[in-house]
Structure 1
Amino acid sequence: MSVLRAHARAAALLAAFVFIPSAHAHVTLQVKEAPIDSGYKAIFSVPHGCKGSATTKIRIRIPEGVVGVKPQPKAGWSLETIKGDYAQPHMRYGTKVRSGVKEVIWTGGPLPDDYYDEFVFVGYLSGELTPNSTLYFPVVQECEQGVARWIDLPSADKKAPDDHSDSPAPGLKLLPKR
């Protein structure tokens, strides 16, 4: 029995280490799938700072086809949006939209490395987007000391960023419209 218990303890200990979130965990989207031609609430999870340094800025580039973006203010953070023209008009609830928010920037905090937070906006996923594809939201995380760029996109022959990437951009799988 003691040999079995020792093996069970060893297996439990190994499992604990395997399932502990990595110190290199990246910024991710909480909801990873959504249908095109519908509203979407993007919740970006920021699990840590930059190598121990507190986060002071989060910049999210809005991909083409995500329109009508409205970011959620956060206490202790200032909020800025950068607007511009879209590469093509997009339909949103039956109306053509030609320009809008291209980047959202939260500055402030600071968010210490030992804490976690979320940064949120709502938007509309245009019906012109391609279902069964993935849309990427590059994020730059600036800290009191250092920067983390969550910007890696897939190469032309891949559907997702390299599994070994240290800095993948958060991705949203686009589903067919309902």
Structure 2
Amino acid sequence: MKRLIAVLLALATPAAAHVVIEPPEVAANSYARLAFRVGHGCGTAATIAVEVNLPEAVTMARPMPKPGWEIAIEARALARPVSSGHGLVREAPASIAWRGGPLPDAHYDEFVMMIRAPDQAGATLVIPVVQRCEGGAQHAWVEVAEPGQPRPRSPAPTLRLGAR
């Protein structure tokens, strides 16, 4: 019986979760796979878009295609070009959005991208996400936790940058 309860709790956890990043920490100045886990819809409405707003410190990001979803990338010019394995990069993604689905409220899923983490060991990146749902509902996961304060109702996902 205890085992059954543990299994049910493990399965129920994603449905109660906010939008979070997995893993929560990556090495600074590394290429990393990030999964943005969406644990529920907006009320009972299915999710039809997940929009990830990337901090300016992230100069490279590539989304993983997802069957049934279209990808939209909005770029921004970099203040100064950065070197990559393919030459100088003059613009970077400002946001990546997956649109389509739908992802029913009763299920969870992950939206994956690869980034080049900034060379800022010890820093924490705030990565706001807007979740859009059927019927025009939306949830903006954009609030930043202040030290010593309770966790916000709609916290923005965060990514810690560890030592290289």
Q: TM-score, normalised by structure 1?
A: 0.77
| Gap change, CA 1:163 and 1:24, over 3 Å in 2 | farther
Partner of 1:83: 75
Residue 62 of structure 2 is aligned to residue 70 of structure 1:
yes
Partner of 2:129: 139
| Gap change, CA 1:48 and 1:136, over 3 Å in 2 | same
Give 5+ residue unaligned stretches, structure 1.
1-8
Spell out the pairing of 1:9-48 with structure 2 (5 A cutoff).
21=13, 25-48=17-40
| Contact preservation (8 Å) 2:127, 2:156 | yes
Partner of 1:4: none
Amino acid at match of 1:28: V
Residue 148 of structure 2 is aligned to residue 152 of structure 1:
no
| Contact preservation (8 Å) 2:145, 2:151 | no
- What do you get for the CA RMSD once the two structures are aligned? 2.6
Deviation, structure 1 residue 56 = 0.5
| Gap change, CA 1:167 and 1:88, over 3 Å in 2 | farther
Range that drifts further, 20-29 or 109-118:
20-29
Amino acid at match of 2:121: P
Range that drifts further, 30-39 or 95-104:
95-104
Superposed CA deviations along residues 56-98 of structure 1, whole A, max 9, x for unmatched, are 0100001122122110111111111001113454454596533
- The equivalent position to 1:54 in structure 2, one of 46, 49, 63, is 46
Partner of 1:173: 160
- The equivalent position to 1:97 in structure 2, one of 86, 89, 100, is 89
Give 5+ residue unaligned stretches, structure 2.
none
Query: Where do 4+ consecutive residues of structure 1 move more than 2 Å?
Result: 20-25, 86-98
Amino acid at match of 2:23: V
Q: TM-score, normalised by structure 2?
A: 0.83
**1: distance between equivalents of 2:156 and 2:58?**
16
Identity of aligned residues (%): 33
